[in-house]
Amino acid sequence: MGNVIKLFLLFLLATVCHWAFALGLGYLGLQVNLMLAFALAFCTVLRPAFGYPTAFLCGLFLDFFGTKVFGNNACTFTVATFIMYQIMPRFDFEGVLPQVLTVFLLTCFTGFLNAWLVWEFSSSILWPGFGSIFGGALISALFAPVAFWLVSRTLGSGPMCQSQQHASF
């Protein structure tokens, strides 16, 4: 129960951080996606049974404010989480570099996937541009170590968390 409350509070914090960055850097035309950084950070701590729904809800939260398609962010977050769970045994996410690199690449990937999904399901083009996607991904990646540290410090261990092998940092 304690972990659920902590997770909920972290989710609230993630939403605030995401919107703060989105509003603050919006005038620069950068598509910052801190929500994804938090979702990936949750994956490193939570077991897949909790990680997938959490990531799905994180994506769904962004979908509530979208206008073209409902569920596209939930889809891209699920795909990103799947990739994260696949590569997690092969990388040591205690280090800052894997965190930054993974968040950067997956944010870019979800940016492209999102644009494709919107085009596919609504026949409207939602292309922010390469600069916006890469710039936003870079900022998200730079913030990623903070999100990873915050999640691991707050959730740490518990019935929802993975074995110590994956959640030891």
Chain residues that interact with other proteins, rule: CB under 8 A: 12, 15-20, 22-24, 48-49, 52-53, 56, 59-61, 63-65, 67, 69-72, 74-75, 78-79, 81-82, 85, 117, 121
CA distance 56 to 45: 16
Tokens for 61?
């939260």
CA distance 32 to 14: 13
CA distance 106 to 94: 18
Cα Dmax for the chain: 46
CA distance 106 to 61: 18
Nearer to other proteins, 44 or 72 (CB): 72
DSSP-derived 3-state class of residue 72: helix
Nearer to other proteins, 22 or 45 (CB): 22
CB atoms within 10 A of CB 67: 8
CA distance 28 to 133: 12
CA distance 72 to 114: 6
